[in-house]
Amino acid sequence: MKGFSLPALSAVVIAAVCGTSAFAQVTVKDPWVRATVPQQMATGAFMQLSAPAESRLVEVRSSVAGVVEIHEMAMEGNVMKMRAVPGIELPAGKPVELKPGGYHVMLMDLKQQLKEGETVTLTLVVEGKDKKRETIAVKAPVRQLNTAAGSGTKP
Ligand SMILES: [Cu+2]
């Protein structure tokens, strides 16, 4: 009897492992990149990330930028400053928003001007708790920051 139970058990384990990694797909909502003016060397990319299982955004790549970093905005005294962070935690089932004034993807050393209506391809690298990495290709439209904000009095 003992000899029969072992192969059956390992088949179940393999199925469970495969099922977990296929399920750990991070979804990206509303990605966009802030438009630039000529000679501007840096801009931000924003989006909403939802992870079904606890994971972490660890890297972003894009062909339009020489350097891509993950940044956060934080108060230092009375001054809002941005700084690079090693990654963004994505809690299970809880959407994380990258937006102006908060977390953002910093595109630096831009190779071209990014004009409204264009599309920028970003590659997100997400690491699960098991240290497995998945890459997600995102097509982000280029938008002006102020189009939805109303007054448009900012320089
Ligand atoms: Cu930044």
**Ligand 1 center from residue 126 Cα (angstroms):** 19
**Ligand 1 center from residue 97 Cα (angstroms):** 15
**Ligand 1 center from residue 77 Cα (angstroms):** 18
pLDDT mean over 115-129: 96
Rg for the chain, CA atoms, rounded: 20
pLDDT at 88 over 70: yes
Rounded CA-CA distance 35/57 in Å is: 23
**Ligand 1 center from residue 109 Cα (angstroms):** 12
Does residue 34 or residue 9 have the better pLDDT? Answer: 34
**Ligand 1 center from residue 7 Cα (angstroms):** 53
**Structure tokens of 105?**
């993807």
pLDDT mean over 30-39: 96
Q: What is the pLDDT of residue 128?
A: 93
Q: What is the pLDDT of residue 25?
A: 83
**Ligand 1 center from residue 62 Cα (angstroms):** 15
**Structure tokens of 117?**
């209506």
The residue count of the chain comes to 155
Q: What is the pLDDT of residue 75?
A: 87
Q: What is the pLDDT of residue 11?
A: 53
**Ligand 1 center from residue 125 Cα (angstroms):** 18
**Ligand 1 center from residue 14 Cα (angstroms):** 42
**Ligand 1 center from residue 81 Cα (angstroms):** 9
pLDDT mean over 73-88: 93
Q: Which of these, 60, 104, 65, lies nearest to 81 by C-alpha position?
A: 104
Q: What is the pLDDT of residue 13?
A: 52
Q: What is the pLDDT of residue 29?
A: 97
Rounded CA-CA distance 60/126 in Å is: 9
At which residue do the structure tokens 């400053």 appear? 81
